[in-house]
Amino acid sequence: MRNWGYHLVLNASRCGALNIRCSKNIKGFSDTLVKRIDMKAYGAPQIVHFGEGNKGGYTLVQLIETSNIMAHFSEEWNAMFLDVFSCKPFEPKEVVEHVQDWFNPIHIESTFLNRGAYATQEKLRTPAEVLR
């Protein structure tokens, strides 16, 4: 399997309540994260508050030239669920430190994945052919 991309999945619990409820703070986090991990933003981030009950909170979508940064903030749990995916390498430790700086969580757990695809000499098949 050839490595094609890098994917950080991060859960941050007991974040600063005011920090996850402020769209300006979330935008600042996104803008500075893009720079810190040496990516290039593709347009402005989308930051939208929606959902009800334990699902309510802001969601962030920031396209980057090499893929995306996405996060959801749970107001009920004061939690952040972040995904950073890029075909350009980045340092996961920088992302973790950035989350700590901006949201001050009590606990962070993360998983870093190398994404890839099998390289074969076979003819490429369509999804319909694969499912047959």
Among 48, 19, 42, 45, which residue's Cα sits nearest to residue 30? 45
DSSP, residue by residue, 8-37:
EEEEEES--HHHHT-HHHHHHHHHHHHHHT
Domain range summary for the chain, segments of one domain joined by +: 2-131
107-117 β-sheet, strand order: 46-50, 57-64, 67-74, 79-86, 2-13, 107-117
pLDDT number for residue 116: 81
SS3 18: helix
d(Cα 56, Cα 123) in Å, to the nearest integer? 46
pTM above 0.75, yes or no: yes
Amino acid at 12: A
Q: What tokens does 51 get? A: 């959902």
Q: Which residues of the chain have pLDDT under 70?
A: 1-2, 117-127, 129-132
Q: State residue 20's pLDDT score.
A: 97
Residue 71 tokens read as: 């996060």
Domain 2-131 architecture? 4-Layer Sandwich (3.60)
Note the pLDDT of residue 68. 98
